[in-house]
Structure 1
Amino acid sequence: MSCLFCEIVAGERDAFVVTSDEVAVSFLDARPVFKGHLLVVPREHVETLTDLPDVGPFFERVQHLAGAVEKGLEAAGTFVAVNNRVSQSVPHLHVHIVPRNRKDGLRGFFWPRVRYDSDEEAESYAAAIRRTS
């Protein structure tokens, strides 16, 4: 069975990758809540958080990238979330890191999504985060 995120991890599918190491890969969400919205996935295919054998190294990357999103995008904060099965559009563990600012319009859990105007704009967001990661 094919996994979209495993294909990104393997370099078989294009994505705006921000970081990649032996533990995790982070890349821009293709349909971000706000521009700069990252997904962080373990390199190993696991479906949910409870399937991940050692959460420490993975969440060290999540913690680091949450700071990089704030710093790189000059965001006031971040929203960090994990869905396990319900609302999990790809059955591969992934953590959302969404840049937040006061009065950004985010309310509740029904958020409109935006699109990047171009690949160049998407790459500029990835680069801003990458520089501080």
Structure 2
Amino acid sequence: MTDCVFCQIVRGAIPSTTVYEDEEHLAFLDIRPRSPGHTLVIPKRHVRWVWDVPNGGAYFEVVQKIARAMQKAFCEEIHARILGEEVPHAHIWLYPAPGSATGNPNDFEVNAKKIRNALDA
């Protein structure tokens, strides 16, 4: 789907701050973060709903991997939301518990590095 904003991010037509990428999945920071490190995990292939993701088990393993890295990088309480209303592309939000701090786009690279470092640990 060429007009899908997430498909454009996957293609590199729209910039994003990537925290994780493999052949089938992409995780990047939300441009309007609820809290520092607010990350979206998407399948690279365009599918409308999370339950339509091919090999859903692998997708949720990536979500789990990112959430655990965020626990190390930010705090123990990482919230998750399965979404699809605003952007018609399957995605899951992961974000540190509300109230920990408000996310700031100026901190994207610092927060992405925290998550990437925790993934490598």
| Superposition TM-score, scaled by structure 1 size | 0.81
Q: Within 2, Cα distance between the matches of 1:129 and 1:34?
A: 14
1:114 Cα deviation from its structure 2 partner: 4.7
C-alpha RMSD over aligned residues = 1.9
Q: Who wins on radius of gyration, i.e. which is larger?
A: 1
Whichever residue aligns with residue 79 of structure 2, its letter is: F
Helix, strand or coil: the match of 2:108?
helix
Q: Over residues 6-60 of structure 1, what are the superposed CA-to-partner deviations in whole Å (9 max), with x where a residue is unaligned?
A: 1111112101111111121000000111111000000110010122132001000
Does residue 91 of structure 1 match 2:88?
yes
Structure 2 residue runs without a partner (length 5+):
none
Alignment correspondent of 2:117:
131
| Distance in 1 between residues matched to 2:104 and 2:72, nearest whole Å | 22
What is the SS of the residue equivalent to 1:132?
A: helix
**Percent pairwise identity:** 34
Counterpart residue number, 2:54: 53
* Correspondence 1:6-45 to 2 at 5 A: 6-45=7-46
Contact 2:37/2:103 (CA < 8 Å) preserved in 1?
no
Structure 1 segments unaligned to the other structure (5+ residues):
106-112
Q: Which structure features the higher share of helix residues?
A: 2
- Does 60-69 or 46-55 show the bigger shift? 46-55
**What are the Cα deviations for residues 38-94 of structure 1, in whole angstroms up to 9, with x where unaligned?**
000001100101221320010000000000111122x1210011024xxx2110001
| SS class of match (1:68) | helix
Q: Is the 8 A contact 2:38 2:103 kept in 1?
A: no
Could you say if the C-alpha distance between residues 9 and 82 of structure 1 is closer, same or farther in structure 2, counting changes exceeding 3 Å? Answer: same
